[in-house]
Amino acid sequence: SERFIQSMQKLLSVNMKVAIVTGANKGVGHGIVERLIKCLTPPSDWHVYLTARNVSLGHEAVDEFVKRGLPVKFHQLDITDQKSRDKLADYVKSNYPDGINILINNAGIAYKTDSNAPFGEQAQVTLATNYFATLEMCNTFLPLMAKNSRLVNVSSIMSVVTLKKLGDELYEKFVKPMTIEQLNDLMHDFIRRAASGDLASAGWPQMAYGVSKLGLTKATFILAEQLKDDPRRILINACCPGYVNTDMTSHKGTKTILEGAVTPVYLATLPEDATEPYGQMISECKPMDWCK
């Protein structure tokens, strides 16, 4: 019966380690899944989940991996949808009582430079996904992280570029300690001003993607600070995959998706006793200076 199959599956997944990659049916996320599954040892101890918003595209990507002898699993996830996040969280709780070992928040969006969408709309939609939804992923899944687990937020070097383009007053806020609430207020301020065309007077550049990733990088630092004494010793970092040849970059990027996966997978597979990097922005497997 269905119930018997479910209870057998549950028995089989106890003691398995679990890795989850968001937005992984194509692009950098797809490269991360492939690189991860090849780096985890022994592979028989791991369940690696490719998640995607679109079920058929997700299954297609998983089937392709399985055909190549790479045992990937699928779970639907739209990071912007609370119900979808909760569904995955419930699935993890019931199947992996020891928690998540690796979570790579890779899902994100970028408007094309020639997009005709009004900038206010671009700001709202981009921040809703890249900042607010990714932060909700952290809030939902951090309580489910296992001992010595790894949380990797795929941000962008654009966060550092954007930081340097902020007005002085705003820049000072971003390089000093702040709370998540204060950061949320700043992100909402950007969205409001983007809609009313009043960015420059407050020191904001007209960069929706850059600001969304600036917010994500800063949020990663704040979360790391909040959890630094957590007995589970979760390593929390943000990273830049580099300029990768994907749909998002209109295939102008110079790196392959497997090359783009190097830094996120390096952070996800740090040795169990590693204590650093922690609460850093990592590019090419090295910490970046945030405010120089």
49 is catalytic: no
To 5 degrees, how large is the angle CA 245–CA 187–CA 108?
Answer: 25
CB-based contact 142:97 (threshold 8 Å): no
Q: Cα separation of 5 and 11, whole Å?
A: 10
Instruction: Output the six-digit token pair for 127.
Output: 């921040």
Euclidean distance between the first and final Cα of the chain, in Å? 61
Q: Which residues of 118-150 are buried (b: 16+ CB within 10 A; e: fewer)?
A: ebbebbbbbbbbbbbbbbebbebbbebbbeebb
Which one of the listed residues 49, 96, 131, 209 is annotated catalytic?
Answer: 209
CB 107 within 8 A of CB 134: yes
In angstroms, rounded to a whole number, what is the distance separating the alpha carbons of residues 237 and 137? Answer: 14
Burial of 69 from C-beta contacts in 10 A (0-12 / 13-18 / 19+): exposed
* Catalytic residue set: 209
